Amino acid sequence: MPEKLFSRRAFSRTALQSFAAAFALPRLRSQENFRHNLPSGDGYIRISFNENNYGPSPKATQALDACGPIANRYPFVSEMGMTQALADYHGVKPENVILGCGSTEILRVADEAYLAPDKNLVVAEPTFEAVLEYAGIEHADSVKIPLTADHRHNLSRMADACTSKTGLIYICNPNNPTATIVTRDAMAEFIDRVPRTTLILVDEAYFDFVDDPRYASVLPLIPSHPNLVMARTFSKIFGMAGMRLGYAVGAPETLAPMRKLLVQDSANAAVLNAGLASLQDRDYIAECRGKFIATRKWLAAELAKDGRNFTESQANFVMIDVGTDVTPVIKQFMDRKILIGRRFPSMSDWIRVSIGKQAEMETFVTALREIVPAKGSRAA
C-alpha cells in the first residue's frame, strides 16, 4: 500500500533533505563568510576568485548589449545554438552536451543524480569544495584522499578507495586550490581502474591556462568510457563569471539523470549570446592566455628569487607557503586593498593568489615582501 511504502523513516529523510536543500542550496558554505567579508567599493585589487581580470571578449559585451530585443522571449533558440556551438567546438553531438548556470550547477546535478545516503563520493583533499558540499545535502559520505607531497592527486589511493558504494569520483584538473595537474597518461590509467558503476567527473574549469605538454583533456576518452563526464565553465578564461554559464560533455545516457535535475532554462538568453560570441573570438582568448602564462612565469620567478615554497601552477592562481596561519595574512593584504583567496583548512599556511594583470601582480609581490619577508631577507 502506498502509505506503507512512504514509511516514517522515508518521510523524515525527505523532510530533512528538503529542509537542508531549502537552506543550503543557494550558497556554498565554504565561501559564504568569505564573500560577506569582502569590502564593497572599488580600488581593491581582486585576486581572490580566480577570475579573468581582463574581462570578457569585447564581442561578448557587444552581444550582451544587443540582447534587449530578445529579452521578452524564452531562450530556447539561444540554448540550441549554444549546445550546437559547443558540440562543434568539442567535436561531439548536441546530445553529448548539457548547459548549466555556471559549472556549479553541473557539479550540483552530478551529485544529486549519482549520490544518495547509501553512496559515497571520493575526492582529493584539498580540492574545489562545491562537489563536497552538495554531497552533504544528499547525505552521502565523502572519502577524502590527501594530495601527494607535491600537491597532486593521489590517483592510486583514490582508485583504491572506490568501492561498489562509490557513486561519484571527482577530479579537478588543474586542481583548485593547488593549480597542479594530472597528466594525460596518469589520467588514462586511472580512468581504466575506476569501476564502470562510478561516475568520474573531471572538472576542467582551468583547462585553458595549462601549457604543460603532458596535460590533456579527458574529452577523447569519453566514447570508450561512458561513466566519464567533463565539466567546463565560461567563468575563467572567457571572463564571464558574473554571467553564469557552464556545461558538461558526456554520453547521453550518463547525462540523462543530470539533465532532468537542471533548472529549466537556467542559462539565460543574454549569457548564451555572449557565450557564443566569446567562443568565436579565439584571438581574444589566445591573447588572454598568453598574458596569464607570461605573468604566471614572472610571478614564479619572483617567488623563487625570494626562496619561497609555492605550488607548480598550471592555472590562473598559485598557492604560496607563508609559514603561518593565513587568516591574519589575508587581513593584512586586505588592509593594503588587495583581496587574496580564502583559507583552505588542510593547507592553512598557504595563501591562494589568483593571477591578475601584470601591474596588479607587481603590487601583490611588493606587499607580500612587506607582509611575509622573503626567506633570504629573514636570514639576513
Ligand X SMILES: Cc1ncc(COP(=O)(O)O)c(C=O)c1O
What is the smallest separation between the CB atom of 9 and ligand X, expressed in angstroms? 34
Cell for 203?
572538472
Count of residues in contact with ligand X, rule CB under 6 A: 13
Assess 128 for contact with ligand X (CB under 6 A). Answer: yes
Assess 161 for contact with ligand X (CB under 6 A). Answer: no
User: CA 140 → CA 163, 228, 233, distances in Å?
Assistant: 14, 20, 25
What is the smallest separation between the CB atom of 107 and ligand X, expressed in angstroms? 6
Taking CB under 6 A as the criterion, the residue among 123, 140, 172, 182 binding ligand X is 172
Q: What is the DSSP string of 29-64?
A: HHHHHHHHTSPPSS--EEESS---TT-S-HHHHHHH
When the beta carbons of 48 and 78 are compared against ligand X, the nearer one is 48
Assess 178 for contact with ligand X (CB under 6 A). Answer: no
Q: How many CA atoms lie within 13 A of 124 on its CB side?
A: 31
Taking CB under 6 A as the criterion, the residue among 48, 50, 52, 295 binding ligand X is 50
Of 163, 130, 165, 158, residue with least CA distance to 144: 158
What is the smallest separation between the CB atom of 127 and ligand X, expressed in angstroms? 8
When the beta carbons of 207 and 364 are compared against ligand X, the nearer one is 207
Rg (CA), the chain: 21
Q: How far apart are the first and last CA of the chain?
A: 80
Of 27, 241, 10, 235, residue with least CA distance to 137: 27
What is the smallest separation between the CB atom of 281 and ligand X, expressed in angstroms? 19
Cell for 370?
612587506
The answer to whether 328 touches 315, Cβ cutoff 8 Å, is no
What is the smallest separation between the CB atom of 264 and ligand X, expressed in angstroms? 18
When the beta carbons of 308 and 342 are compared against ligand X, the nearer one is 342
- Rounded Cα distance, 274 and 177, in Å: 28
Of 360, 333, 352, 334, residue with least CA distance to 49: 352
Would you give the binding string for ligand X spanning residues 193-212, x where CB under 6 A is met? Answer: ----------x-x-------
When the beta carbons of 108 and 119 are compared against ligand X, the nearer one is 108
When the beta carbons of 130 and 338 are compared against ligand X, the nearer one is 130
- Rounded Cα distance, 193 and 340, in Å: 38
When the beta carbons of 190 and 234 are compared against ligand X, the nearer one is 234
When the beta carbons of 187 and 365 are compared against ligand X, the nearer one is 187
Q: Which of residues 223-282 bind ligand X (CB under 6 A)?
A: 233, 235, 241, 246
Of 328, 336, 325, 343, residue with least CA distance to 365: 336
Pairing outcome for strands 228-233 and 199-203? parallel
What is the smallest separation between the CB atom of 301 and ligand X, expressed in angstroms? 25
Name the residue with the smallest CB distance to ligand X.
102
What is the smallest separation between the CB atom of 3 and ligand X, expressed in angstroms? 41
Pairing outcome for strands 246-249 and 317-321? unpaired
When the beta carbons of 176 and 313 are compared against ligand X, the nearer one is 176
What is the smallest separation between the CB atom of 288 and ligand X, expressed in angstroms? 16
Q: Which of residues 54-113 bind ligand X (CB under 6 A)?
A: 102-104
Positions touching ligand X (CB under 6 A) are 50, 102-104, 128, 172, 176, 203, 205, 233, 235, 241, 246
